[in-house]
Amino acid sequence: MFSDRDLSGDYSECTDITLSDSTASCSDSSVTVADGSVTITKAGTYKLSGTFTGQIIVNAGDSDKVQLVLDNASIAKEGSAALYIINADKVFITTVKGTENTLSSTGEFASSDDATNVDGAIFSKSDITFNGSGTLNVKCESKHGIVTKDDLKITGGTCNITSASQGLSGKDSVRIAGGNITVTSGTDGIHSENTDDTEKGYVYISGGTLNITSGNDCIDASGTVDIKYGTFAFKAGGGSSEKTTGDSTESYKGIKADGVLTISGGTFDIDTLDDAIHSNADVTVSGGTLDISTGDDGIHSGNNMVVSGGEINIAKCYEGLEGQTVTVSGGKVTLTSSDDGINAAGGDNQGVGGGFGPDSFSDDSEAKITITGGEIHVNASGDGLDSNGDIEISGGTVYVYGPTSNGNGSLDYENNAVITGGTVIMAGSSGMAMNFGSESTQGSILASTGNASAGTAVKLTDSSGNVIAEFTPTVSFQTVVISIPDITSDGTYTLTVGDSTQEITMSGYIYGSGMSGGFGGGQHGGNGGFGGGNRPGSNNHGGFGGVNPPDMNGGQTANA
């Protein structure tokens, strides 16, 4: 990803170029000064210092490597790029420690005489690397900050980019290994797009500090995004507190990829109007700390999402984790959602959060939530765990508090839900309450609690008086779901909710099946309201449907 020269920022035996207002001086024949421009035509290392109103041009041979060392250089060009790299094998921009350097483009860009659309304060047709330990300020009043038609790399120094459009744009790739980078952009902060080669158009970050405030996406790649490490502060579209109405064709995401999106480390503070993290393909989070606030989805995958490590904190979102499939095998996820907490959706998901239109997935039958490990805390106004297909839990710890509305449920699935291990604690409304299915091999209790207020303690004890589950929901609730390894298929337990108790005798692994949907017109069950039948097109998962459920206020046996 990075050569030794990319990373080092070392330089020696420089050719000095002294800038002075609208002219410059240099004794080397490889440098030409004429008509308000300084043109470099050969490989070598060139040190620029002073102030210049004009354009620096690199037009060297195909195999030439050119290094520009900026030593308190200030270069401004009206109507075009301050630095224009026409040709070279590769160009290195090195900032000297303790110096501050500025490259700026003012006014509207003039039309190019050739097919090249010069549209950045720094514009390159060749690979370009920024390194060193000084400061570089890049400003563009009407176009992009830094643009290359090949690879753009940053490995060191301080880079401050202010642009009317994109901040950093690399057609083949944008790669960052270090440095302190601040981008304020009118559109995308970092943009990589290659429509000719699907292997390119990617973003790779292995270190550095990035602060991006963008009018559109903070990071946008037509290919993959791979983040290994770094410190990130992203704000897109004005942040999660902004409002939008109706469908929007604009994108205001934190990190967006058309290809696979991978996060294996780093510290993230993401505040976005649209999805915080979004891929049209797979998303994998295996490490890092992510603090997210968003007007739409926290993390969205158009295909498969895997969380195997790290810490994800979503303080505000429409839906928390969403994908065709969602698998959690490790890490810690804490989220508060205005709709579903974790959603595995098939077909076109017509839920619209923040006015950004439906998300597209493949067939419903492939939708699945799988939890094998990790720790999950969900506070949902919609469904807590919602799958248009199946749910399988074999490990981990899951807490779901909410919803309080009877139009949603803590657990919601279309086909089947099986639990074989782990700990699941849920507290929510009764209207759409569901339990795990009959194929489960770990005991699970769905019980009515009456109308219990937030902060009411819940305790489950076994026949010997041992407390095997204890929790205090942070929302008002009418039902609880408790599934832990200590619940056996023939045990007797006491459920205490506040000052009320009820005895629960198991005759099988599932106690209280709940219902599927709740849109029908059957009789409503007493003490929990489980009646109502199936939602259109759904299966009745052993639920109470349109008849009264068993009395759930005590003494009932499980529905095996």
Q: What is the pLDDT of residues 28-76, one digit of tens each?
A: 999 999 999 999 999 999 999 999 999 999 999 999 999 999 999 999 9
Sign of CA dihedral 538, 542, 547, 549: negative
Distances from the Cα of 303 to the Cαs of 56, 250, 258, 267, 288, in angstroms?
46, 22, 11, 25, 22
Residue 327 has what pLDDT? 99
In sequence order, which residues have a C-beta less than 8 Å from that of residue 323 and are 6 or more positions away? 283, 300, 301, 302, 303, 304, 305, 343, 344, 345, 361
The whole-number pLDDT of residue 249 equals: 84
- 358: cis peptide before it, omega within 30°? no
What type of residue sits at position 265? G
**Helix, strand or coil, per DSSP, at residue 8:** helix
| Among 14, 158, 183, residue whose Cα is nearest residue 97 | 158
Tokens linked to 272? 């976005």
100: Cα separation from own chain's centroid: 34
Please report the pLDDT score of residue 540 as a whole number: 34
Q: In this predicted structure, what is the pLDDT of residue 526?
A: 29
pLDDT at 165: 98
pLDDT score at 315: 98
Give tens-digit pLDDT for 447-471: 999 999 999 999 999 999 999 999 9
Q: What is the pLDDT of residue 515?
A: 54
pLDDT tens figures, 318-329: 999 999 999 999
Query: Which segment of 223-227, 365-369, 438-442 scores lowest on mean pLDDT?
Result: 365-369
pLDDT tens figures, 166-199? 999 999 999 999 999 999 999 999 999 999 999 9
The residue type at 175 = R
Q: Where are the domains of the chain?
A: 16-223, 246-369, 389-560
340-362: pLDDT as tens digits: 999 999 534 333 344 555 555 54
pLDDT at 525 over 60: no
Section 268-283 average pLDDT? 98
Residue 213 has pLDDT above 50, yes or no: yes
Reported as a single tens digit per residue, the pLDDT across 93-146 is 999 999 999 999 999 988 765 567 899 999 999 999 999 999 999 999 999 999
* Inter-CA distances, 391 with 242, 326, 342, 436, 519, Å: 34, 10, 11, 9, 22
pLDDT at res. 544: 31
Q: What is the pLDDT of residues 375-389, one digit of tens each?
A: 999 999 999 999 999
CA 223 vs CA 153, 186, 414: distances in Å? 16, 22, 33
pLDDT tens digit string along 386-432?
A: 999 999 999 999 999 999 999 999 999 999 999 999 999 999 999 99
Q: What is the mean pLDDT of the chain?
A: 90
Confidence of residue 242 (pLDDT cuts 50, 70, 90): confident
What pLDDT does residue 154 have? 99
pTM to 2 decimals?
Answer: 0.89
DSSP sequence for 113-136 = SSS----EEEEESSEEEEEESSEE
> What does the pLDDT read at residue 115?
60
CB neighbours of residue 485 within 10 Å: 12
- What per-residue confidence (pLDDT) applies to 269? 99
User: Does the structure show a pLDDT above 80 at 527?
Assistant: no
Name the helix (H) or strand (E) containing 5: helix 4-8
